[in-house]
Structure 1
Amino acid sequence: MRPSLPLTLAVLLFAATAIPTAAQEGGALSPRVVDEAAVPGVMAKAVDGFIIPGYRGLAEATVGLAETSAALCEAPSAAALEAARSAFSGVVRRWSAIEIIRLGPALEQNRFERFLFYPDRKSTGLKQVQAILAKEDESATQVESLKKKSVAVQGLGALEYVLYGTGAETLAGKDGAFRCRYGVAISENLKAIAGELLTEWERPDGIQAAWKKPGPDNPLFRDSREAATELLGILVHSVEMVKDQRLRPFYTGTLDGKPDKGRPRLAIYWRSVNTMAAISANLRALQMLFDTAGMESLLPADSRSIAGSINFLFKALIRAADRIEGPIDAALADENQRATLDFIALNTADLLDRFNREFGGAIGLGAGFSFADGD
């Protein structure tokens, strides 16, 4: 017999909170000082083991996308369109695995927004993309002129509409010629941005050097404490992003005290059915960064259980995200999948607290410090 919704959710919540917090184990955390000797090694592993491989994977995926997009234009067919869509989904996953590094080169030249313009709260970007398609604006089919246009018409959101939006079926035949050329220009633009990001991080004397060697002459981190703060801040702000920018727009559980029916068209990548795959990739990336960098080594010996509870939550959240398959509107209409969304929302908030309060407190970020508040 299938368990009722309250029982199912209660079991999930009990599983996610089964590991006690540090405060429960040993009382309130006393002020600590970050192990400065361990920080450079942690930062180096974050760069060499996570950031550079992540951007390398993104660059490779965008090359494949550009190639399949060009092939679609050269010989349009249903199979070629499916190949382009598959390549698009591959880029979404690769991007979702590295978009948490929203700093440095990603912020220069508006690279982040040019790669992904989201959220589009007033559908401004959508209207601009639709106008380009309606007018058949040839300037949007050349990378150099496209990159000078609004960030909303040159990235993943625009390409998703090209491949999946109203009229996308024309891409399988000759009637979609302009639409296809626009899609190729977006794909080439994404390839160029991904290549720039990788190049900037691979430069030995660039940002990776600043990450690996905190010190008084470092332009980014005057000491190891500042470096550790940046790294932990990535985790805190990214978990907050998943909670507030990926989940909350389309589902809150309750709305004005009533069960929330959801707003599927506000979900990221809803047209291409990549919403939960992207969220899962975000969570996997965060866990990979945490583990690959060896952030547990920053914790005092008597607080190492914090890392265990964080990894436990990561695993539970990733499993939950992977259970939601298919269109997001179908998930919102299913009682069990809504319970899973409730679980993800509640435990993402718990994960945020464990990073922000427990981990930060344990490595000496001081009482009252809050990444989430930007203090």
Structure 2
Amino acid sequence: MRFFTRFALLASIALLPLPAPAQETETSVGVLDAAKVPAVMARAVDDFIRPGYRHFTEDADTMEESMALLCDAPSAESLMNAQSTFGDLVEAWSRIEIVRVGPVIEGNRFERILFFPDRKGTGLKQVQAALAKPDPSVTSVDTLKDKSVAMQGLGALEFVLFGTDAETLSTTEGRYRCQYGTAIAANLQRLGAELSAAWDAPDGVAAAWKMPGPSNPLYRDEAEAAKELLGVLVHAAETIRDQRIENFYKGEPKKALPRQAIYWRSGNTFRSITANIEGLRDLLDRSGMAELLPEGNRSVVSSTDFVARSLSRVSGDIKPDVAHVFEDPAQIAKLDFLLLNSRDLILRLNNDLGGGIGLAAGFSFSDGD
């Protein structure tokens, strides 16, 4: 009876039926229209990547200001303001974090911004140790940036604002903790500025994306460039399923691990997942990847977006407190919906879109082929 109840709840989530699931085999393979690739790559850079990093940097700057205000005038109100600003920062990062190539993977920038998953709790222990005994080196961005990556990013800032004893931030007792949080915010702003500068440089990575060719150090031809962009989308979908959902829930509510969910302390788990999905949708749309498909096969993109949009809608409708989700069968059904259809999204991007623009069906980006 329980199975049928959950099945009924799952089936009732979507107002419209999803497109037929993508097939793992027998996907038609098209031919890449190389002439259209540079324009698609240029739009990906100018209309998604550069604005995304700029938005993150601006929100990190606002975060630093909120933390400084909290330190100067600690109160329940200024703490709530800083916590709210943190949620905005998480959303800004979650939209652009799907781009896991280029400058963000150099110098461990990605891990410095977001160290997750912290499977052994190593990062958490380091943050707790820093808070337990005042250490001036974590209250300045100049010295914090050289410490463990787990101590200087969003995960560390979340614990400062929402972890054990975070309520002390509303009083003068939390001054040191607040100074540490301010340094983290300043470090995030620094990293965001570096990423923006790298993508804004006229002869840097943006130029490499926009002008594939024999003399290009990254992409020797249009096929390699298109493969990179498609890989960003596929890896994003895989990460949403494997690291953001399955990290705490694999389909068995009794075995769920709510505290393994990203941003569970701040209640931003599903806000972040939704932003991941929306970032994927934006990149697919703004780059105009549909133009790389034959006109008769462009419905692949619209059906893929339909699945992603359904995932986003359901994710955005799940309770912020992950632990409470597992007390409600209707909420669990929504998680089941995410598990089922996130796999479909991966297949549509990998097989249908990949095959449609000239990559072999079943191409595995995870293998680096």
Rounded Cα–Cα distance in structure 2 between residues aligned with 1:17 and 1:163:
39
Structure 2 unaligned regions, length at least 5: none
TM (normalized to structure 2)? 0.95
Choose the corresponding residue for 1:155, options 153, 156, 180.
153
Quick one: which amino acid aligns to residue 9 of structure 1?
L
- 8 Å contact from structure 1 (residues 78, 172) kept in 2: yes
- 8 Å contact from structure 1 (residues 252, 260) kept in 2: no
Q: Secondary structure at the match of 2:118?
A: coil
> In the TM superposition, what is the alpha-carbon distance from 1:369 to its structure 2 partner?
2.2
Q: Kindly provide the CA deviation profile for residues 238-258 of structure 1, in whole angstroms up to 9, marking residues without a partner as x.
A: 10000000001111113xxxx
Q: Secondary structure at the match of 2:226?
A: helix
| Correspondence for 2:235 | 237
- 8 Å contact from structure 1 (residues 16, 313) kept in 2: no
Moved more, 322-331 or 276-285: 322-331
Q: Secondary structure at the match of 1:97?
A: helix
| Correspondence for 1:371 | 365
| Correspondence for 1:17 | 18
Give the 5 Å matches for 1:170-249: 170-249=168-247
- 8 Å contact from structure 2 (residues 64, 185) kept in 1: yes
| Correspondence for 2:114 | 116
Rounded Cα–Cα distance in structure 2 between residues aligned with 1:14 and 1:175:
51
1:8 correspondence with 2:2? no
Rounded Cα–Cα distance in structure 2 between residues aligned with 1:14 and 1:365:
33
Q: Secondary structure at the match of 1:217?
A: coil
Choose the corresponding residue for 1:301, options 270, 277, 295.
295
Structure 1 unaligned regions, length at least 5: none
Rounded Cα–Cα distance in structure 2 between residues aligned with 1:145 and 1:279:
32
Quick one: which amino acid aligns to residue 330 of structure 1?
H
Rounded Cα–Cα distance in structure 2 between residues aligned with 1:347 and 1:30:
21
| Correspondence for 2:32 | 34
Rate the CA distance shift 1:156–1:30 in 2: closer, same or farther, 3 A: closer
- 8 Å contact from structure 2 (residues 269, 320) kept in 1: no
Rounded Cα–Cα distance in structure 2 between residues aligned with 1:244 and 1:192:
29
Q: Kindly provide the CA deviation profile for residues 180-231 of structure 1, in whole angstroms up to 9, marking residues without a partner as x.
A: 1111111110110011111111111111111111111011111100000000
Choose the corresponding residue for 1:342, options 336, 357, 368.
336
Rate the CA distance shift 1:14–1:351 in 2: closer, same or farther, 3 A: farther
Rounded Cα–Cα distance in structure 1 between residues aligned with 2:269 and 2:43:
30
Quick one: which amino acid aligns to residue 328 of structure 2?
D
- 8 Å contact from structure 1 (residues 242, 279) kept in 2: yes
Choose the corresponding residue for 1:311, options 305, 326, 330.
305
Moved more, 109-118 or 365-374: 365-374
User: How many equivalent residue pairs?
Assistant: 366
- 8 Å contact from structure 1 (residues 276, 322) kept in 2: yes
Rate the CA distance shift 1:85–1:329 in 2: closer, same or farther, 3 A: same
Rounded Cα–Cα distance in structure 2 between residues aligned with 1:20 and 1:141:
51
Give the 5 Å matches for 1:39-188: 39-188=37-186
Rate the CA distance shift 1:368–1:328 in 2: closer, same or farther, 3 A: closer
Rounded Cα–Cα distance in structure 2 between residues aligned with 1:115 and 1:273:
19
Rounded Cα–Cα distance in structure 1 between residues aligned with 2:93 and 2:198:
17
Rounded Cα–Cα distance in structure 2 between residues aligned with 1:374 and 1:283:
23
Rate the CA distance shift 1:368–1:68 in 2: closer, same or farther, 3 A: closer
Rounded Cα–Cα distance in structure 2 between residues aligned with 1:16 and 1:207:
41
Rounded Cα–Cα distance in structure 2 between residues aligned with 1:299 and 1:260:
44
Moved more, 168-177 or 293-302: 293-302
Rounded Cα–Cα distance in structure 2 between residues aligned with 1:75 and 1:17:
51
| Correspondence for 2:324 | 330
| Correspondence for 1:272 | 266
> In the TM superposition, what is the alpha-carbon distance from 1:29 to its structure 2 partner?
4.2
Q: Secondary structure at the match of 1:38?
A: helix
Q: Secondary structure at the match of 2:120?
A: coil
Quick one: which amino acid aligns to residue 208 of structure 1?
A
> In the TM superposition, what is the alpha-carbon distance from 1:129 to its structure 2 partner?
0.4
Q: Secondary structure at the match of 1:323?
A: coil
Rounded Cα–Cα distance in structure 2 between residues aligned with 1:292 and 1:19:
25
> In the TM superposition, what is the alpha-carbon distance from 1:260 to its structure 2 partner?
3.7
> In the TM superposition, what is the alpha-carbon distance from 1:326 to its structure 2 partner?
2.4
Rounded Cα–Cα distance in structure 1 between residues aligned with 2:277 and 2:17:
15
- 8 Å contact from structure 2 (residues 277, 308) kept in 1: yes
Moved more, 298-307 or 92-101: 298-307
- 8 Å contact from structure 1 (residues 261, 332) kept in 2: no
Q: Secondary structure at the match of 2:278?
A: helix
> In the TM superposition, what is the alpha-carbon distance from 1:261 to its structure 2 partner?
4.2
Quick one: which amino acid aligns to residue 19 of structure 2?
A
Rounded Cα–Cα distance in structure 2 between residues aligned with 1:162 and 1:30:
51
Q: Kindly provide the CA deviation profile for residues 289-311 of structure 1, in whole angstroms up to 9, marking residues without a partner as x.
A: 00000111111123212112101
